[in-house]
Structure 1
């Protein structure tokens, strides 16, 4: 059986490991996976399948209605990916699935060359960002219908959507394998579960901070998913996925007798939700002060988790730039 230990590179930046870190039992570990991860994976695979079908319909009947349906299924798939990538775990980290589904930055010039050759092997010219470009262009949605009537262009779009669905489903069996490993008699995977889970949450919080610039005079291109105008919705999908995965940490703190710390983490997560949700849908039109409030709420939560939660659960926490996906 393939072993899905993440093998994270841990930086000893803030918390010193203790002799006996908290180790969840098999029932708790599998319940955590069932509640926070497998449902998000299911939503992603179902959305990706729908995207593949809707894109095929665009290529079969290239009209405005079908193009709008494809755009809506892309939005659903991208948000499903954001929610899952908000707190990666298990096989999706080992398989580096993010580089296959969500390679950034988008490279329009390279995509245009790839369309002409039909070559979808280059990670830089495929995935959800490439599909966004093909459906919206550089924020020029009205111009794309005529372009997609070009057979080579629509064929490339179809192949790329098929790849996204294939990569999503690639993890169907590995997730089940990881679940079995968490329930095995050997506690190896459970011993590493909390440190890996929380380190990846910290990495996700850092990603959110990078996605929310705080300077004055920002441009639309500074925000991910600016082409589709969905930057805020995608950002909040990532916040929601992070919040869901964070509940396991809160639950664990309560089980360890740290209800006050658990409450503090919950309150700070609520602040992230509140301050970031209040931003306008067009993030480029948001005030720097409002973006700073969102950014600071994430910073506060991240510091609480990295220092106090790590100390309470006797974990070594801290990320280097090379950690995660």
Structure 2
């Protein structure tokens, strides 16, 4: 998801943490270490996102190879391609809540993760590609990426790829196009991370604004795009993300895992809560932890159950509470302006 950068007041410089510690009474516990936005982003990028996109790219490469083998008539290749898709889709869902750095700048997720899927546009793009395979510039985003490949691999109403030469060749191109976008992002991470080493105050403020707005937006995406909108119709099956492949629940869990990493960090990797504690906002950090745990408890909904829409009510409510805490109290405490931008997957 793509968020506009906002002006924020610069705060939380190292000397502020020193003054805060000097002001504590003698019996008070020492505050947590100050974590600057650049440190937060650097750790997230170097420990999670850069290696994550590298492994994701390897899986998409394997998917492309399996699809090519399927087009050549190798019997086991179709099942292998579906398995490679499931593995790649899991990685994408875990990475997609955190479109920072090169992902934000290149708008990669628009190219590889357009959803909801538009079958009619995919089918017309198959015909267009069959006529002029060298002219792919006119193939629109709704007909690209992993969701389009899910439709081609798993949709029960269309022929198997091995029996549909034009669609099979198009699927191979889709996978290779996705892999090319990922490869460019992987190459860009080292320079982006190195540029954080001596971030000036103005950039620290921008990084903070981008990070918090992305987390707010990703929380909203999980609530609205992946839950409320697909479950809003009261008739027929819920066409949630990855419903054709039966991996909707796994995808939601992966998405929340990525979102949680940005919010709370991981072993040796600070999250937003570490920045709160470093600035003495201990109560707010504790409340954020509680809201995150409440969402975790409500996951995953059972989309296959008749009562799926009722089962998601608690999850949607908990995500709303988490989003309000981030967008109102936390943003105010961190002196960040909240704004809305284009969703990077739409």
TM-score when scaled to structure 2? 0.80
Residue 269 (structure 1) shift: 0.9
Per-residue CA deviations over 1:103-141 (Å, capped at 9, x if unaligned) read: 23322222222222325431222211111111012x44x
Residue 263 (structure 1) shift: 1.9
Return 5+ residue gaps in structure 2 as ranges: 14-35, 265-270
Task: Verify: 1:80 aligned to 2:91, yes or no.
Answer: yes
Residue 196 (structure 1) shift: 0.6
Per-residue CA deviations over 1:169-196 (Å, capped at 9, x if unaligned) read: 1112222221111113544433311211
Task: Verify: 1:272 aligned to 2:285, yes or no.
Answer: no
Task: Verify: 1:256 aligned to 2:273, yes or no.
Answer: no
Residue 83 (structure 1) shift: 1.3
Residue 324 (structure 1) shift: 5.2
SS class of match (1:305): helix
Bigger drift between 91-100 and 178-187 goes to 178-187
Q: Aligned match of 2:128 in 117, 123, 126? A: 117
Measure the CA separation in 1 of the matches of 2:40 and 2:115.
Answer: 35
Question: How many residue pairs are counted as aligned between the two chains?
Answer: 306
Q: Aligned match of 2:80 in 52, 64, 69? A: 69
Q: Quickly say closer, same or farther: Cα 1:154–1:261, change in 2 above 3 A.
A: same
Name the residue aligned to 1:108.
Answer: 119
Superposition misfits of 4+ residues, deviation over 6 angstroms: none
Q: Aligned match of 1:40 in 52, 68, 85? A: 52
SS class of match (2:299): helix
TM-score when scaled to structure 1? 0.85
Contact 2:298 2:314 in 1 (8 A): yes
Task: Verify: 1:60 aligned to 2:50, yes or no.
Answer: no
Bigger drift between 180-189 and 69-78 goes to 180-189
Alignment of 1:22-33 (within 5 A): 22=12, 24=36, 27=39, 29-33=41-45
Name the residue aligned to 1:302.
Answer: 323
Q: Quickly say closer, same or farther: Cα 1:87–1:154, change in 2 above 3 A.
A: same
Q: Quickly say closer, same or farther: Cα 1:176–1:220, change in 2 above 3 A.
A: farther
Contact 1:38 1:175 in 2 (8 A): yes
Measure the CA separation in 1 of the matches of 2:307 and 2:66.
Answer: 33
Measure the CA separation in 1 of the matches of 2:290 and 2:37.
Answer: 27
Q: Aligned match of 2:166 in 146, 152, 162? A: 152
Contact 2:241 2:248 in 1 (8 A): yes
When the two chains are superposed, the root-mean-square deviation of aligned CA atoms in Å is 2.5
Measure the CA separation in 2 of the matches of 1:111 and 1:173.
Answer: 29
Return 5+ residue gaps in structure 1 as ranges: 1-5
